[in-house]
């Protein structure tokens, strides 16, 4: 079986965790601080605040920007549901703009159209989906033109860059996930990054019960703190991240060179893409046949995502607009195949050979 994902954990992580356990200080402490500083420095932000998950990081990022009830936040309909749930948690209202067919990211042109229709939108939450950067050359002028707060969902884009500048350093605030399938992991965990001192201070209070001074609670906060154990894993993973991303890129390039099945549309390579997923499109309504074929040949895959976010059953009472032509097209075609950094050459060859022989 060629798996769709595999965390790259080894002796370094085991030794780092053992060191924390031996210290007796396993909750949030100095190791978390070291990880926060190292990760923020890697991305290019002034401050990092480690959290329990990518979802809590997103919620804290939105709250840190003082967004909430009565505020509209524009985002993508094609993503993991956490990007919209986090908006709803804060009491703000999600508004959606369709995506670009090549990148699967929110379309700058659709952002402009939505802003013209709803000029009271206050913030933009973009998702750098599958490790592919949004077109920041087009998005940043829109942020300035419409005076938007920019929130970056970087849950799938550790080390992704646009023109040499890393995702997570463009916006007012950004959020990352360190779930085991991501480009780097802490087991579970997340991080909020910001170069805005007020946002960073508020985020740090929010994840720690609203405290700056212990037992003095200035705002209502949460217990969203990362542990020293998770941070110890994160520090090891961060050291490995550039090499792991290079392997993902190398594997993606191999697929681009070797997969030649006319039923398969390959992703367009962009500089800065770190391939959290390598997502192909199956043409002519053949996706179900293709995924069954992969199962028969023991090739792991993922369908990310079979429904748009606005049409999910949990939102049916919110009366969202559910028709987004590009999203509605690609959601029926996309399949992600293994691209993780631990793939061997025989495994890559097996994936290529199986896909090229698909004839349904």
Residue 309: pLDDT band (50, 70, 90) is: very high
pLDDT (average), residues 158-182: 98
Tell whether omega for the bond before 3 is within 30 degrees of 0, i.e. cis: no
What are the residues whose beta carbons fall under 8 Å from the beta carbon of 274, sequence distance 6 or more? 131, 157, 158, 159, 160, 183, 245, 248, 249
Residue 33 region by backbone torsions, left for phi larger than 0, else alpha for psi between -120 and 50, else beta: alpha
Q: What proportions of the chain, in percent to the nearest 5, are helix, strand and coil?
A: 40, 20, 40
Kindly tell me if the per-residue pLDDT of 327 is higher than 80: yes
Mean pLDDT of 310-321: 96
| 251-284 tens-digit pLDDT | 999 999 999 999 999 998 889 999 999 999 999 9
Cα–Cα dist 31/71, whole Å: 36
Q: Which fold has domain 11-236?
A: 3.40.640
Q: Is the pLDDT of residue 193 over 80?
A: yes
Burial of 266 (0-12, 13-18, 19+ CB in 10 A): middle
Contacts of 89 (CB under 8 A, 6+ apart): 59, 62
How do the domains of the chain map onto residue ranges? 11-236, 242-356
- Which band of pLDDT confidence, cut at 50, 70 and 90, is reported for residue 19? very high
**Cβ of 109: how many Cβ atoms within 10 Å?**
14
- Sorting pLDDT into bands at 50, 70 and 90, what band is 216? very high
| Confidence (pLDDT) at 39 | 99
Q: Which residue has the tokens 């990310």?
A: 304
Give the separation between CA 44 and CA 320, rounded to whole angstroms: 36
As beta bridge partners, residue 214 has none
List CB contacts of 223: < 8 A, sequence separation 6 or more: 207, 208, 209
Report how far residue 72's alpha carbon sits from residue 145's, in angstroms, rounded to the nearest whole number.
17
Q: Which band of pLDDT confidence, cut at 50, 70 and 90, is reported for residue 230?
A: very high
Is the pLDDT at 4 greater than 90, yes or no?
Answer: yes
pLDDT the model gives residue 61: 98
Split at pLDDT 50, 70, 90, the class of 349 is very high
Confidence label for 360 from pLDDT (cuts 50, 70 and 90): confident
Cβ atoms of 340 and 9 closer than 8 Å: no
Q: What is the CATH number of domain 242-356?
A: 3.90.1150.10
Across the chain, mean pLDDT equals: 98
Residue 240 in contact with residue 9, Cβ under 8 Å? Answer: no
How many C-beta atoms lie closer than 10 Å to residue 329's C-beta? 13
Instruction: Tell me the pLDDT tens digit for each residue of 20-54.
Output: 999 999 999 999 999 999 999 999 999 999 999 99
pLDDT surpasses 90 at 164: yes
Q: Note the pTM of the prediction, 2 decimals.
A: 0.97
What pLDDT shows up at residue 132? 98
* Residue 136 confidence (pLDDT): 98
Alpha carbon distance 11, 144 (integer Å): 47
3-state secondary structure of 346: helix
Rounded CA separation 295/245 (Å): 27
């Amino acid at each position: 079986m060629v798996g769709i994902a595999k965390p790259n954990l080894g002796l370094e992580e085991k030794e780092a965790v053992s060191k924390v356990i031996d210290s007796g200080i396993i909750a949030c402490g100095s190791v978390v601080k070291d990880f926060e500083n190292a990760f923020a420095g890697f991305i290019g932000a002034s401050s990092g605040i480690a959290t329990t998950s990518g979802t809590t990081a997103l919620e804290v990022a939105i709250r840190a920007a003082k967004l909430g009830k009565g505020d509209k936040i524009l985002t993508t309909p094609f993503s993991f549901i956490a990007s919209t749930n986090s908006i709803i948690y804060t009491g703000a209202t999600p508004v959606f703009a369709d995506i670009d067919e090549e990148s699967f990211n929110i379309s700058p042109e659709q952002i402009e159209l939505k802003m013209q229709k709803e000029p009271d939108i206050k913030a933009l939450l973009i998702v750098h989906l599958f490790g592919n950067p949004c077109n920041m050359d087009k998005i940043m002028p829109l942020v300035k033109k419409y005076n938007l707060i920019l929130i970056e969902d970087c849950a799938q884009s550790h080390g992704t860059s646009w023109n040499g500048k890393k995702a997570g350093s463009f916006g007012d605030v950004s959020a990352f996930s360190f779930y085991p399938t991501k480009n780097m992991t802490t087991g579970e965990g997340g991080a909020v990054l910001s170069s805005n001192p007020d946002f960073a201070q508020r985020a740090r209070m929010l994840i720690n019960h609203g405290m700056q001074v212990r037992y003095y609670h200035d705002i209502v906060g949460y217990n969203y703190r990362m542990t020293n154990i998770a941070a110890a894993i994160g520090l090891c993973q961060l050291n490995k991240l550039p090499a792991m991303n290079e392997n993902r890129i190398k594997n993606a390039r191999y697929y681009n060179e070797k997969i030649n099945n006319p039923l398969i549309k390959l992703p367009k390579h962009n500089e800065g893409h770190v391939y959290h997923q390598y997502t192909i499109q199956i043409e002519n309504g053949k996706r179900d046949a293709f995924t069954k074929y992969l199962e028969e040949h023991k090739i792991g895959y993922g369908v990310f995502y079979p429904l748009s976010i606005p049409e999910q059953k949990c939102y049916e009472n919110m009366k969202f607009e559910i028709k987004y032509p590009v999203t509605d097209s690609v959601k029926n075609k996309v399949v992600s195949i293994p691209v993780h950094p631990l793939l061997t050459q025989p495994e890559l060859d097996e994936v290529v050979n199986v896909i090229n022989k698909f004839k349904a």
